[in-house]
Amino acid sequence: MADFAQQLIEWQQQHGRHSLPWQNTQDPYRIWVSEIMLQQTQVATVVPYFQRFMTRFPDVASLAQADEDEVLRHWSGLGYYSRARNLHAAALAIMQQYHGEFPQTHEQINTLPGIGRSTASAITVFAYGQSQPILDGNVKRVLTRCFGIEGWPSQPAVEKRLWKLAESLLPKADIQCYTQGLMDLGATLCTRSKPQCDNCPVRKNCVARKEGRIPQLPTPKPRKALPECEIVMLLLIADNEILLEKRPASGIWGGLWSLPEVAMGENVQLVARQRLGLETKLLPALPLVTHTFTHFRLHITPQPLQLLKILPEVRQNGLVWLDKEDAIGAALPAPIRKILLGMGTN
């Protein structure tokens, strides 16, 4: 057990990552934002988003003072938008409950919106040097392979076992280097496919390597067929302006701007008249756009409609007309931005 931590520390000092934009700091705010962005998102994708986010929101106060829509606009394209909403909500909580000072205990940090045990641990390790175990996806892969742990890692019983193992492996010193080493190992060598086992610092004791079970570990999640969903998105056009609709805070793309949504088979002109108060002319549909979520696959038919007249007796909140350039720059889901960018090129 002790050898595992020491081997990892020595490897990280020599071969690990040391120049990422959220490293070489003890600022809990920067560390927190990076940890949230890195959830289910690769480093190469996160780096430019993180840099832009820090330029606009350099501290907790500036993030809390911004409105949610602006935060979502700076997050647009990263996906999993509940992370951005929780980030904003947590900044407000820090201002209100801790007078703008980032909390310093694991227990306090763990109560903030969008922060779980592993993220709270990473913040306390890197910002405050506290000894806490982490267990993100990369770490689960490293531990299941090295110690031969079977079963889907997110299954409660398996995850409980992994937490106990992670706690037992904590070194008595160099906790920051060790924790970064775990992250680096999973991200750069012990990858999901084509792991570089010959360069791994713990290869001599790796159970999966000894037993030839690297492709089988970690045990994959039991697979189910992804449900398929079809919808129509109304692309309402008036001169160079496009109608956007604010989505509900809950559900997919919560709080983002999008195109008005209609069920397949509905009369789109009737919906535009009754729900939006718009008389329209039907234009040819655009090519299908498919977007895959974690739990289902969404097929979007973009249906352009030319605005003829706005009916004064129908009014609805949450609608805005923007010119095409401003609409593309709004806080949009990635597939909606793709539709707008494709206008006029089909």
Separation between Cα atoms, residue 82 and residue 163, nearest integer Å = 25
Answer whether 134's CB lies under 8 Å from 175's CB: no
Q: CB–CB of 5/177 below 8 Å?
A: no
Lookup: tokens for 201 = 């610092």
Task: Detail the DSSP E strand segments found in the chain.
Answer: 228-238, 241-246, 257-258, 261-263, 278-282, 289-292, 297-310, 319-323
Polymer length in residues for the chain: 346
Tokens coding 170:
């904590």
- Compute the half-sphere exposure of residue 34: CA atoms within 13 Å on the CB side of its CA: 21
Residue with tokens 């605005």: 307
Active site residues: 35
Q: What is the residue-wise DSSP string for 172-209? A: SS-HHHHHHHHHHIIIIIS-SSS--GGG-TTGGG-HHH
